[in-house]
Chains A and B, each alone.
Chain A
Amino acid sequence: MSAVNDIAIITRRQLLLLTRVPEVLIFSTIQPVMFVLLFRYVFGGSINTGQPGGYVQLLMPGIFVQTVAFTLAGTASGLAEDMKKGLIDRFRSLPISQSALVIGRTLGDSLLNIVVLAVMGIAGYVVGWRPSAGLGNVALGFLFLLLFGYALSWVGVLVGLSASDARVVQNVSFIVTFPLTFLSNAFAPTTGMPRALQYFAEWNPVSTMVAACRELFGLENQFGATAGSFPSEHPLTTSLIYMVVIMVIFIPLSLRKYRNYAD
């Protein structure tokens, strides 16, 4: 299969880029580790979780999800860079599978996520994170995180190919991702939010992902006004539906955008 071969080459290029500019890898891991430390020690003391093991148990799934959510920005700005350099034109003029470049990029970004999640997991462990679930469920949680990152990476492809400028891409991705990650249960229970926000937060895919991971890592989820709603009762199923929906919509849209992006 030459398409598979093409995708593998593009993915490898991405890893090669990481070894050539190790700063990228360093900063993509330092930032989340910093978040772990900041939240753990700044809010950890004042948020009463009512959970054994303290705030860090709730925090880690939140930070994991936030971090993979930023794959959107990473993919988007990476593609925008390639476009700016005219590199996409070269790829598109080669006799290769036309979707290889974008598929390879999304896969490469997921590989980066593996590294980042591993480093964060270790950092979390150091500051007291101890998932109480079995190894199988914890692994499943990480698989979920990777899949979520992968799905969002396709949203990033569309953003990256649509924007006219790499800096715009950064801004757009952050404007999309920040409210989503904070209007959620990721860092604090939603029970303190105004009612309307609580509903938004419960349905927010970031929240359902965080809830799903907490469940997989062996924690009990707490709900406010929305207790009993479908996403609160079934965070795993809801998250899975979200991911499938995102991919079903954004993969074809992104691929079409890529094929026609010059027209």
Chain B
Amino acid sequence: MKSVIAENLVKTYDKGRVRALDDLSLDVEEGTVLSVLGPNGAGKTTTVRILSTLMRPDSGNAQVAGIDVIKNPEKVREVIGLSGQYAAVDEILTGYDNLVMFGELYHLGKKQSVLRANELLERFSLTEAAKRPIKTYSGGMRRRLDLAASLIVKPKVLFLDEPTTGLDPRGRQEMWGVIQELVKGGVTLLLTTQYLEEADQLADEIAVIDTGKVIARGTSDALKKQVGGERLEVVVEQTHVAKTIEIVAAVSGNKAALDEGLRLISAPVSTGSAALFEVLKALDSAGIHALDVGLKRPSLDDVFLSLTGHAAEEKKVEVAEKKRGRK
């Protein structure tokens, strides 16, 4: 069963001048994790806001847990948890106050709200900071508290918009751990990210989006295959480059590429470690000592590059500037 279905979503801003979502469709199988991967301005937040009832699309349909998001937003709110891109908790109140307040707004009653707040604070390692105002929290703590607030009543579907953006590597690791725990608990999760590694780590399936469209989707492995399988890479001394190109091309059956600066010769292969073995043997009998030999699986960066024609990071600056200009 699909827990989340979005069909042909279109959303424009600025009276149609900005087309944030351009016929975007996606779905998430119950109990699985879909990562929506895209650079700045791709439409991730817009997608999450529509699915979590904060915003209506210009056109298109969406269902969450079988409930129509546009016709029945109240019902949808009962089954979802949302942790937006920027931690949405009351800075002035303490972590404890925040969670109790949200518990009461979920109609848990005072006593249950207090119990649940303490439980969540414990689980997200925030017990020590519970009685401090949020404004004294680090970015990672804030993020965890925000996530805790979206879990007060166990949601069927959880939306996390860039849960680790702005966190340091340790904070990111912690957050990944927390998310993996949640997933084990059986929640359906839609998570957006700009980090290819994060999608790779956490998601069952990845939807790559760019300029408001899904440009590819599938498992991490499938996406990598789509870009081409593994590449054989050899680094040699300058004097051996020409000969090595011949050898690699022969083993691969394809044209070999050369990165002159690195003296790195590479070519796609389909036979995996057999190709590696073959090339080592050929180099050996040619008397060439390879400085480095390896099989490289394509990273999601490669996936992005080959799908969009631009690197995931490249666009960041431009869009960030555009945003600043708008403000």
User: Which A residues contact B (CB, under 8 angstroms)?
Assistant: 2, 5-6, 9, 13, 16-17, 20-21, 85-87, 89-96, 164, 262-263
Contacts and interface: CB of A to CB of B under 8 A. Distances in A.
Contact of B93 (A5, A13, A164): A13
Given A9-B104, A93-B52, A87 B77 contact: no
B107 A5 contact: yes
B93 A17 contact: yes
B9 interface: no
Nearest to A98: B74
Contacts of B91: 85
Chain B binding surface SS class: loop
B133 interface: yes
B54 A86 contact: no
A86 B86 CA distance: 7
A17 B92 contact: yes
A96 B97 CA distance: 18
Interface string B85-104: 11111111110010001101
A95 B106 contact: yes
Given A5-B107, A6-B105, A86-B86, A93 B92 contact: no
Contact of B82 (A5, A85, A90, A262): A90
Contacts of B19: none
B48 to A, nearest CB: 10
A90 to B, nearest CB: 4
Given A2-B107, A95-B106, A89 B93 contact: no
Closest 4 CB pairs of A and B: A86-B88, A90-B88, A95-B77, A262-B55
Could you say which of A6, A85, A87, A94 has the most chain B C-beta atoms within 10 Å of its C-beta? Answer: A94
B56 interface: yes
B84 interface: yes
Given A13-B93, A89-B82, A90-B88, A96 B105 contact: yes
A2 B80 CA distance: 19
B149 interface: yes
A95 B78 CA distance: 5
A87 B53 CA distance: 15
Contacts of B106: 94-95
Contacts of A164: 327
B172 interface: no
A93 B151 CA distance: 12
Nearest to B50: A262
Given A87-B88, A93-B77, 12 more contacts: A16-B93, A17-B90, A17-B92, A20-B94, A86-B84, A87-B89, A89-B49, A90-B88, A90-B149, A93-B82, A94-B102, A94-B105
Contacts of B88: 85-87, 89-90
A20 B134 CA distance: 12
A94 B77 contact: yes
B97 A262 contact: no
Contacts of A21: 92
B114 to A, nearest CB: 14
Contacts of A85: 86, 88-91
Contacts of B53: 92-93
A2 B84 CA distance: 26
A238 to B, nearest CB: 39
A262 B49 contact: yes
Nearest to B113: A9
A90 B84 contact: yes
A90 B89 contact: yes
B134 to A, nearest CB: 10
Nearest to A84: B86
Contacts of A93: 52-54, 77, 80, 82
A251 B240 CA distance: 80
Contacts of B52: 93
A92 B54 contact: yes
B122 to A, nearest CB: 22
Contacts of A95: 74, 77-78, 106
A20 B92 contact: yes
8 contacts: A5-B107, A9-B104, A16-B93, A87-B89, A90-B84, A90-B89, A93-B77, A95-B78
Interface string B199-235: 0000000000000000000000000000000000000
Nearest to B91: A85
Nearest to B86: A86
Given A86-B87, A93-B53, A9 B101 contact: yes
Interface string B54-79: 11100000000000000000100110
B107 A20 contact: no
Nearest to B133: A20
Interface string B258-270: 0000000000000
